[in-house]
Chains A and B, each alone.
Chain A
Amino acid sequence: MSTDVHTLSGAYALDALDPREARDFEQHLAECAVCRAEVAELQEAASLMGAAEAAPPSSALRDRLLEAVDRTPQVPPLSAPPAAVGADAPATAVSLDAARRARRPRVRLFAAAAAVAVAAVGGIVVTDAMRTDQPTLAAGVTQVFRAADAQEATVATANGGRVSVAMSAGEGRMAVDTSRLPALGSRQVYQLWTLTDAGPVSAAVLEDAATGAAMDLPAAGTRIAITIEPVGGSEQPTTQPIVVVDPADV
């Protein structure tokens, strides 16, 4: 279906496919970097055509919207694909599910403990007793830990906590259990990074460490780091990692 499917990029960028065709095309997009790049460019051209219709809405709408925003929680960046920069980056239109299905490299957790930098840092550890009533790991996280083919490792962190990492090639996902990290003050959060030669890229800001985080399996050669950052997270790490995990492909 390749040549036929490829010509759908224009109709897709115009939202002119029926829902089933759009889903099929998104699956194709997940496997076709050239198509993703083309769709991104065609969507930009279409959006400029749309923007040329600009007309101001009523000022009442602004007030209504801002009031609604105050009542609306934001979606956490749990599913942010790690370090998806460059030719492999999915286009805007690729659904996370489609992208996930397409990327299932065989990854094996390897010598994770050896990569952990240890330093003595004080911190208050949240006891199990304190945590029992708290909501536990997010469903997406436990799903990876429970996967039949999950490979798991638990490592100590420099600030006296423990982090478990699980990878499932079958799920195409990696999950990090951060629930046993020391609690931070109200002005700090844990932030998860993917490390490549290109430098660190934020993978998730853990507003609530008890829920952990899940993401697509990182590319080979990518390491995972956790730092302590000001609330809201940072563009780049501002502190030394409390842990670095190296999932190496064997």
Chain B
Amino acid sequence: MSAGPGLRLVPAADGPGDIDGLLIRVARGDRTAFEELYDALSSAVYGLSRRVVRDPARAEDVTQEVFLEVWRKASRFDAARGKAKTWVMTIAHRRAVDAVRRAEAQRRQDHHGAPDEVSFDEPADHLIRTEEHGAVRDCLDSLTDLQLESVRLAYFNGYTYGEVATLLDKPLPTIKTRMRDGLIRLRDCLEGAR
């Protein structure tokens, strides 16, 4: 199969193996691989960032930081330790949570506790729906209410488990445990869905 002179074959980087391969090429300075990696993961990174930081402009800043870190530190990715997509998404979540906590600290300092103002466009209509995402939603439904609330408040709102315990008025050990067994249940359910 040959591509015409004006055509460019764009590999569909949808499998985890493809993402791993792309990241390994990025570590060697392959800019084309970086563009492909961005095209494959930018929606996931931006969508998560926006969900956590709420503000679309700030979410784009976070997304840019994440991919610059991925570019810079690609050589530190080790496929033996986990999937490339997980590596990128873990960086994304840390950066997003850091941004939220920094903004919150700043807000407390500036406004002495005045409510935070965010421009938040409802993401539902832009969400990319795929089968995999449907499986995540189904599996989240299999969690108990307390597991789900603990996991979501921490992951999407950037709260520490101490803050979650305060919000839900539960003892710290309970929240710690619910976060862990909630994620374990999610993991097991997603494995079964594959």
| A interacts with B | yes
Chain A interfacial positions (CB closer than 8 Å to B):
7-11, 13-18, 40-58, 61-62, 64-66, 68-70, 72-77, 79-81, 84-86, 89-93, 96, 205, 232-233
* Docked complex Cα distance between A150 and B190 (Å): 49
* Docked complex Cα distance between A58 and B46 (Å): 10
B51 nearest in chain A by CB position: A53
**CB-defined contacts of B44 to chain A, threshold 8 Å:** 50-51, 53-54
Q: Which 8 A-B pairs have the closest CB atoms?
A: A10-B180, A47-B89, A10-B179, A77-B75, A16-B154, A50-B48, A57-B46, A55-B47
Instruction: Give the contacting residue for B90; candidates A16, A55, A73, A93; CB below 8 A.
Output: A93
**Given A45-B190, A47-B89, A56-B43 in contact, is the A10-B64 Cβ separation under 8 Å?**
no
Q: List 30 A-B contacts (CB under 8 A).
A: A7-B177, A8-B176, A10-B178, A11-B175, A11-B180, A14-B155, A14-B161, A18-B162, A45-B183, A46-B90, A48-B132, A48-B136, A49-B136, A49-B151, A50-B48, A53-B47, A56-B43, A57-B59, A61-B46, A61-B60, A64-B64, A65-B67, A66-B35, A74-B72, A75-B72, A75-B73, A76-B75, A79-B76, A90-B81, A93-B90
Distance in Å: Cβ of A199 to nearest Cβ of chain B: 13
Chain B interfacial positions (CB closer than 8 Å to A):
27-31, 34-35, 38, 42-44, 46-48, 50-51, 59-60, 63-64, 67-68, 71-76, 78, 80-83, 85-87, 89-90, 92-94, 97, 123, 126-128, 130, 132-133, 136-137, 140, 151, 154-155, 158-162, 164, 173, 175-184, 186-187, 190
A10 x B183 contact (CB < 8 A): yes
* Docked complex Cα distance between A233 and B27 (Å): 10
B161 x A50 contact (CB < 8 A): no
Given contacts A16-B164, A96-B76, 11 further A-B contacts (CB under 8 A): A15-B158, A48-B132, A51-B89, A51-B136, A53-B47, A56-B46, A57-B60, A65-B63, A66-B31, A74-B29, A90-B81
**CB-defined contacts of B90 to chain A, threshold 8 Å:** 43, 46-47, 92-93
Most central of A50, A57, A66 by chain B CB within 10 Å = A50
Instruction: Give the contacting residue for B63; candidates A61, A76, A233; CB below 8 A.
Output: A61
